[in-house]
Structure 1
Amino acid sequence: MTDTPSPSDANVTVRTRLDRIPTSATRAWLVGAVLLILPEVGALIQFTLSALPLGETAVAVADRIPVLLSRETIPNQGTLVPGEGWQGTFLGLSPARAWGLRVGLIYLYGALCLYWIWRGYLLYRNRYRTAGWTPFDDVVSRFRGHRWGQFGLLVVLAFLILAVFAPALGPTTLEQNAIDPYSYELDYYDEDTGDVETITVGAANTDTTSQGIDGRNVGPLTYDQYDRFHPFGTLPSGQDLFTQVALGARVSLFIGLLAITISGVIATSLALISAYYGGIVDLAIVLVSDATQSLPQLLVVILLSVVLSQTWLAGLYSGGVLLALIFALTGWPSLWRAVRGPALQVSERTWVDAADSYGLAPRTTMRRHILPYIVGYLMVYASMSLGGIIIGVSGLSFLGLGISPPTPEWGRLVDVGQPLLTTMSWHIAVLPGTLIVIVVTGFNALGDGVRDAIDAETDLSSEEETSAAASGAGG
């Protein structure tokens, strides 16, 4: 039995091919995927159980599941005892090096997972895909030469890893850092007593605030007097800034992905309906879109977030679900207009008429023969819109709206640090603000790269020219 399907298998489903062609490469990829998932399966279970209303007992049981890349496995908090070195950190390393080691391993693990997913796609494309070629193949080839788009992809992937692994990347936990710091203790070496003392995290935070004056500032890449390393420094409350930034990335990603998914589904569905049926149906959707888009989105978002702030929706994920719904329901017209034109263009092609003549159901025709040609446009504008949503959420939090504390959010961090911008505590506002600019620029760059790689109009015209040339040669 060969590994490569024969041409006669063109109409065989992928499931049938997997059953008929259990290649060694497929088995090797599956084994590798399992080996990659196993070290972090505990983190997945913990996240799932903590999100479900199962009580504290289930969460406590989940916390006992070992996780390879975690703060417990590679601890970065310890005590520097003169003559004995660091106590309590991973292999006796300094907190900075232990934290850096954990961060490096997490990003290496994330890169390896992404690479393995890519290898899985190549395996599917070369061995199991029914079509020998799809337009996506050309998109990938063109994107490989687009340096600006690749820069955007790297930024977006780094942001995704930061958001997904946020609890493990922070030097401390949100519970200790902000929610209930006085319930936790830490050990430190007291030079006055010459002994190791104990203090609550809340009291230590009070002594390590950053307020822009001498003696009241813990800047980036420095230690405080309790031997804690702060990669981004501390907040005016003494909380670790990097921990808040990492967890804030997860909040921004959740809101952005949920909002863009909802608006993308609405926009794509309406674009397909508009393109296929046209006429009065298209006109009705245009009127609804114009009516929605005529409203100033920012004012509508602010109004709805205030009006609905006391509803049960505002209690879901500290208001993140409510913000995602508001951005989705006010932002779908722009996505719809972006994909409506290409959908109308494709709907006039001969293959769509041929599909109708064969008696395919309208839903099947839209899904098979129109949707593949507008997905690229949707990806482009969705990527750019995602950056806009992140800015919008940050702006609302900056104004005191949006995500409710103590859940961290980048815009609120900028707001907290704004009065200290010209002092030695500049890092509080500058670092989160810089990350916002870099991430939004990355999403826009990725959108530019995908747009240039797709070049759908050129593909369509090239197909027409090829068909005309073939007809002329045949004549």
Structure 2
Amino acid sequence: MPPGRWQRFRDSFVLYSFKRDLVAQLSLLVFILMVAAAVLAPWLASMNPYDLAQIDILASELPPFWVEGSDSMYVLGTDAQGRDMLSTILYGLRVSLIIGFGAVLLQATLGVCFGLLAGYMGGRIDAFLMRLADIQLSFSTLMVAIIVGALVKAIFGGATFSDYAIWLLVLIIGLAEWPQYARTVRASVLAEKSKEYVDAARVMGLRSRRIMFRHILPNTLSPIFVISTVQVANAIISEAALSFLGLGMPETDPSLGSLIKSGFDYLQSGSWWITLIPGLVLVVLVLVINLLGDWLRDVLNPRLYKG
């Protein structure tokens, strides 16, 4: 009787290497805890930072519990608007994760499709898509954000950008970064399409779409997984940078980037926690994602594994 999927997973090199890598274990644990905290934010947070009725402006700029003058109601203190810092960080973490994963999903969808077409079809299609990728790479995420933001505000008004800021940032970051996937997938397809199983599929009369998505794509997933972990971290950093520059989430809708920006003007007045604590959360989140990406890269390429 052949082993089941669970048994194959228990015997796999991935699980074996994971058990021997303490850094990967701790990184995954911290990442799971942060994702769980973001998902459960409405139940874990003591207040809803989106609800103006729950904000007490008289309780603004209260320090964390370990600093003199704090209030036991606010463990991490309050910001300049009187919002509980712990609550805003939980909600902001959720917004940053939504943007990070949403943007990577859009990047992967566009990049994988274009990479498969370019690598498998070749010729003019390959040349056109790769030149399109080159053009896209010449525009930074910041430049795309400026162009899209200006167009949205000019056509629909500034209020529209604020109302749909999350999905516009997903669109902006996704459109700015898809060439990373396209180039990698194209290189993998060029190596795979000359192999015998692809020739056998052609002889059997299978359509090109089925050959690309059912036969070639599964053999190119390893680099896609590695890129995705790195790109999630990059998307979160891009959102934070755009929000800090005023091109991302508004201060009334907390994300980690907008929280850092909202407290930046209060550093000199001594309210360092408004910027520093969300900044530390952002650093930890990006760090654990990158560490998991490094481990995954080594595991999926055993020649690099030093376990």
Q: Same fold (TM over 0.5)?
A: yes
- Give the match for residue 206 of structure 1: 57
Distance 1:418 1:223, change over 3 A: same
In structure 2, the residue matched to 1:167 is: 42
Aligned residues: 301
Once residues 336 and 429 of structure 1 are traced to their aligned partners in structure 2, the CA distance between those partners, rounded to angstroms, is 37
Does residue 394 (structure 1) correspond to residue 240 (structure 2)? The answer is: yes
- 1:290 is matched with 134
Residue by residue over 1:393-418, the C-alpha shift from the partner in whole angstroms, topping out at 9 and shown as x without a partner, is 11121122222342112122212222
Shift of 1:324: 0.6
Secondary structure (helix, strand or coil) at the match of 1:382 reads helix
How big is each residue's C-alpha offset from its partner over 1:51-102, in whole Å with a ceiling of 9 and x where there is no partner? xxxxxxxxxxxxxxxxxxxxxxxxxxxxxxxxxxxxxxxxxxxxxxxxxxxx
Aligned to 1:404: 250
Selected match of 1:431 from 249, 271, 277: 277
Percent identity reads 29
Q: Say which SS state the counterpart of residue 179 (structure 2) adopts.
A: helix
Q: Letter of the 1:165 partner, please give it.
A: L
Partners of 1:279 and 1:257 in 2: CA distance = 33
Q: Contact (CA 8 Å) 1:320, 1:403: kept in 2 or not?
A: yes
Query: Does the aligned pair in 1 maintain the 2:251–2:258 contact within 8 Å?
Result: no
One-letter code of the match for 1:240? D
The residue aligned with 1:97 is: none
Letter in 1 for 2:128: A
Contact 1:305 1:401 (C-alpha < 8 Å) held by counterparts: yes
What is the aligned partner in structure 2 of residue 447 from structure 1? 293
Q: Is the 8 A contact 2:27 2:291 kept in 1?
A: yes
Q: Tell me which residue corresponds to 2:53.
A: 180
Q: What displacement does 1:237 show?
A: 2.1
> Which runs of structure 2 are paired with 1:306-385 in the superposition (5 Å)?
306-309=150-153, 311=156, 314=160, 318-385=164-231
| Matches of 1:322 and 1:450, distance apart in 2 | 30
Amino acid at match of 2:25: Q
Name 2:118's counterpart in structure 1: 274
Distance 1:264 1:395 in 2: 22
Cα distance in 2 for residues equivalent to 1:377 and 1:384? 11
Q: Does 1:157 align with 2:2?
A: no
Q: Which amino acid aligns with 2:53?
A: D
Q: Deviations over 1:356-376 (max 9, x none)?
A: 222222222222321112222
Deviations 1:113-146, CA, capped at 9 Å, x for gaps: xxxxxxxxxx96148xxxxx69x94444434434
Could you tell me which amino acid in structure 2 is paired with residue 392 of structure 1?
S
CA separation of 1:363/1:393 partners in 2, compared to 1, >3 Å: closer, same or farther? same
Q: CA deviation at 1:223?
A: 10
The aligned amino acid for 1:297 is T
Deviation at 1:207, TM superposition (A): 2.7
Runs (5+) with no aligned partner, structure 2 = none
Please say if residues 318 and 407 of structure 1, whose CA atoms lie closer than 8 Å, have aligned partners that are also in contact. Answer: no
Give TM-score scaled by structure 2 length.
0.86
The 5 A counterparts of 1:79-90 are none
**Counting helix residues as a fraction of each chain, which structure ranks higher?**
2
CA shift for structure 1 position 457: 8.2
Q: Which runs of 4+ in 1 moved over 6 A?
A: 222-225
Could you tell me which residue of structure 2 aligns to residue 239 of structure 1? 83
Provide structure 1 residue ranges, at least 5 long, that are not aligned to the other structure.
1-5, 8-122, 128-132, 182-201, 211-216, 459-475
Bigger radius of gyration: 1
Distance in 1 (alpha carbons) for counterparts of 2:74 and 2:192: 54
On the 8 A contact 1:219/1:232 being kept in 2, the answer is yes
1:168 positional shift: 1.2
Distance 1:372 1:249 in 2: 32
Q: Secondary structure at the match of 1:373?
A: helix
Q: Which residue in 2 is equivalent to 1:110?
A: none
Q: Residue 245 of structure 1 contacts residue 409 of structure 1 at CA under 8 Å; is this kept in 2?
A: yes
Larger strand percent: 1
Instruction: Give 2:103's aligned amino acid.
Output: A
2:266 is equivalent to residue 420 of structure 1: yes
TM-score, scaled to structure 1:
0.58
CA distance in 2, matches of 1:146, 1:354: 40
Any idea what SS the aligned residue of 1:180 has?
Answer: helix
State the Cα distance separating 1:377 from its structure 2 match.
1.1
Whole-Å separation in 1 of the counterparts to 2:6 and 2:82: 54
Conserved? CA contact 2:114–2:182, under 8 Å: yes
